[in-house]
């Protein structure tokens, strides 16, 4: 395993210090340049999310039509993806706090997912982004339920991990919410019951709101809309003379009224169900997407993990390099990066978690240049490749044994630069 040990063992203390200065300089240079352009960007993404969400909900008012159902579900899924990835995750990182905007601020933001903002900021911003890929410290390394690194001790329970990974994919937001509670600490009795209770209250509050909105509220709105429209459209044409004649004879057309009511009820119930399943599907799509992007962040073959010994007395330079080699990028189009919350630039994100995500693409070439000069790896690849290696690892490490995968070695500034 010596070949995969320490990708930056060749760097001296001085070189690490110099590298830290270079990364700091990139950070400061972007920080000084933030302005109106960046504000327009995030305001634009937020507006886009809300417009797509409105379009989705509006289309789903007619969710009994197959076309409206499909388009509405698609809109809703994309809105939820934008809201979680490019907006929620990044706002909660404090990437937009510099604007001093009370409505787009890490201290006030809440997102459309099961995790509470406060629990997420602790487990993600603090624990994961500080102890990235340190075995036993970074709880996102396998999320305490998976064997994702051959250094982790095998246990028979891991045999089921390919299966429960599928469940996790579908219900990712709930998995993340429970993960934020730090189940391992609770089991070990390290977490005070008061905090556990606080977390449970937080999650159940969010769960109630989510379920009420997606599985009761909007289906109900659709059903009411469908019933109302049905009554307007399907009103039986009766001439005024006929109505007066009927009334004069005291004839009540009870049967017809009853039939109409039954039809309206059926229409309403059908629409309720259709919207219910549309919301469910949109949530599943969002969860699958989020799971895929996030698992590609640290679990592809290219990334390194660290023992706690290796990071003892770590310098700022050492921290930067650990972030650099512990994360992996995904290549893709600007649209792909928007929908993945710019986590296709996971490397840049881990170097500068509080930098507005829209700037990662702009600094990527500077980061690669540093990698080239210092002989460090720059992990990246297309989604299919990254995701493929992630799922291969999940399958392989369900069984005992397994070796650390070969690493690509230092970045030489070749294919990416030529492609660009």
How many residues in the chain? 420
Query: How many residues bind other proteins, per CB under 8 A?
Result: 35
Q: What is the SS3 string spanning 347-401? A: HHHHHCCCCCHHHHHHHHHHHHHHHHHHCCCCCCCEHHHHHHHHHHHHHHCCCCC
Q: Which is nearer to other proteins, 33 or 184 (CB)?
A: 33
Residue 51 within binding range of other proteins, rule CB under 8 A: yes
The CA–CA distances, whole Å, from 246 to 46, 231, 240 equal 57, 21, 10
Residue 107 within binding range of other proteins, rule CB under 8 A: yes
Decide: residue 233, CB within 10 A, 0-12 exposed, 13-18 middle, 19+ buried.
Answer: exposed
Closest approach, Cβ 217 to other proteins, in A, equals: 5
What are the beta bridge partners of residue 306?
A: 134
Closest approach, Cβ 270 to other proteins, in A, equals: 21
Q: Cα separation of 113 and 268, whole Å?
A: 28
Question: Pick from 15, 70, 152, 210: which binds other proteins (CB under 8 A)?
Answer: 210
Residue 110 within binding range of other proteins, rule CB under 8 A: yes
Residue 103 within binding range of other proteins, rule CB under 8 A: yes
Cα torsion for 71, 72, 77, 83, to the nearest 10°?
A: 120
Q: Which is nearer to other proteins, 37 or 249 (CB)?
A: 37
Q: Which stretch binds other proteins (CB under 8 A): 9-17, 36-44, 61-69, 397-405?
A: 36-44
Residue 28 within binding range of other proteins, rule CB under 8 A: yes
Residue 395 within binding range of other proteins, rule CB under 8 A: no
Q: Cα separation of 300 and 306, whole Å?
A: 15
Q: Which is nearer to other proteins, 165 or 222 (CB)?
A: 222
Q: Which is nearer to other proteins, 107 or 204 (CB)?
A: 107
Question: Pick from 55, 98, 191, 375: which binds other proteins (CB under 8 A)?
Answer: 98
Q: Cα separation of 52 and 74, whole Å?
A: 10
Residue 50 within binding range of other proteins, rule CB under 8 A: yes
Question: Which of 255, 257, 238 is CA-nearest to residue 246?
Answer: 238
Q: Which is nearer to other proteins, 105 or 135 (CB)?
A: 105
Site for other proteins in 212-231 (CB under 8 A): 212-213, 217-218, 221
Residue 105 within binding range of other proteins, rule CB under 8 A: yes
Residue 34 within binding range of other proteins, rule CB under 8 A: yes
Question: Pick from 7, 73, 112, 268: which binds other proteins (CB under 8 A)?
Answer: 112
DSSP 8-state class, residue 306: B
DSSP 8-state class, residue 160: G
Here's the x/- map for other proteins, 57-96, by CB under 8 A: it reads as -------------------------------------x--
Residue 243 within binding range of other proteins, rule CB under 8 A: no
Q: Which stretch binds other proteins (CB under 8 A): 11-19, 58-66, 206-214, 262-270?
A: 206-214
Q: Which is nearer to other proteins, 94 or 388 (CB)?
A: 94
Q: Cα separation of 355 and 359, whole Å?
A: 7
In the numeric block, which tokens belong to residue 210? 């989510």
Closest approach, Cβ 209 to other proteins, in A, equals: 4
Question: Which of 317, 299, 309, 308 is CA-nearest to residue 405?
Answer: 299
Q: Which stretch binds other proteins (CB under 8 A): 202-210, 261-269, 279-287, 395-403?
A: 202-210
At which residue do the structure tokens 């933001």 appear?
A: 109
What are the beta bridge partners of residue 382?
A: 331
Q: Cα separation of 152 and 141, whole Å?
A: 10
By the criterion CB under 8 A, which residues form the site for other proteins? Answer: 28, 31, 34-40, 47, 50-51, 54, 94, 97-103, 105, 107-108, 110-112, 206, 209-210, 212-213, 217-218, 221
């Amino acid at each position: 395993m010596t070949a995969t040990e320490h990708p930056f063992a060749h760097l001296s203390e001085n070189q690490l210090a110099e590298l830290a200065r270079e990364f700091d300089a990139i950070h400061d240079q972007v920080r000084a340049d933030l302005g109106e352009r960046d504000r327009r960007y995030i305001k634009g993404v937020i507006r886009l999310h809300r417009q797509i969400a409105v379009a989705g909900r509006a289309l789903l008012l007619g969710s009994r039509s197959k076309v409206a159902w499909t388009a509405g579900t698609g809109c809703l899924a994309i809105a939820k993806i934008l809201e979680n990835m490019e907006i929620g995750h990044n706002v909660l990182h404090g990437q937009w706090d510099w604007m001093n905007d009370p409505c787009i601020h890490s201290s006030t933001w809440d997102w459309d997912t099961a995790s509470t903002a406060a629990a997420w900021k602790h487990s993600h911003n603090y624990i994961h982004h500080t102890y990235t890929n340190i075995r036993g410290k970074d709880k996102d390394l396998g999320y305490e339920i998976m064997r994702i690194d051959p250094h982790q001790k095998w246990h028979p329970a891991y045999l089921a991990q390919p299966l429960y990974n599928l469940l996790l994919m579908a219900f990712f937001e709930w998995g993340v919410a429970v993960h934020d509670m730090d189940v391992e600490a609770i089991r070990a009795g390290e977490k005070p019951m008061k905090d556990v209770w606080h977390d449970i209250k937080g999650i159940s509050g969010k769960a109630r709101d989510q379920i009420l909105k997606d599985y009761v509220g909007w289906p109900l709105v659709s059903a009411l809309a469908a019933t109302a429209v049905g009554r307007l459209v399907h009103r039986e044409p009766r001439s005024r003379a006929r109505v007066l004649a009927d009334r004069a004879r005291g004839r009540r057309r009870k049967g017809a009224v009853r039939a109409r009511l039954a039809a309206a009820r059926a229409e309403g119930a059908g629409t309720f169900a259709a919207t219910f399943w549309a919301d469910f599907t949109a949530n599943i799509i969002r969860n699958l997407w989020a799971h895929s992007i996030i698992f590609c962040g640290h679990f592809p073959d290219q990334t390194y993990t660290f023992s706690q010994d290796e990071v003892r007395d770590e310098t700022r330079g050492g921290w930067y390099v650990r972030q650099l080699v512990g994360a992996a990028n995904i290549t893709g189009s600007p649209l792909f990066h928007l929908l993945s919350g710019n986590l296709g630039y996971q490397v840049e994100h881990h170097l500068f978690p509080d930098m507005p995500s829209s700037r990662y693409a702009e600094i990527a070439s500077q980061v690669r240049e540093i990698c080239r000069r210092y002989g460090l790896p720059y992990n990246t690849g297309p989604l299919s490749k990254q995701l493929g290696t992630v799922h291969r690892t999940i399958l392989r490490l369900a069984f005992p044994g397994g070796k650390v995968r070969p690493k690509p070695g230092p970045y030489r500034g070749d294919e990416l630069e030529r492609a660009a």
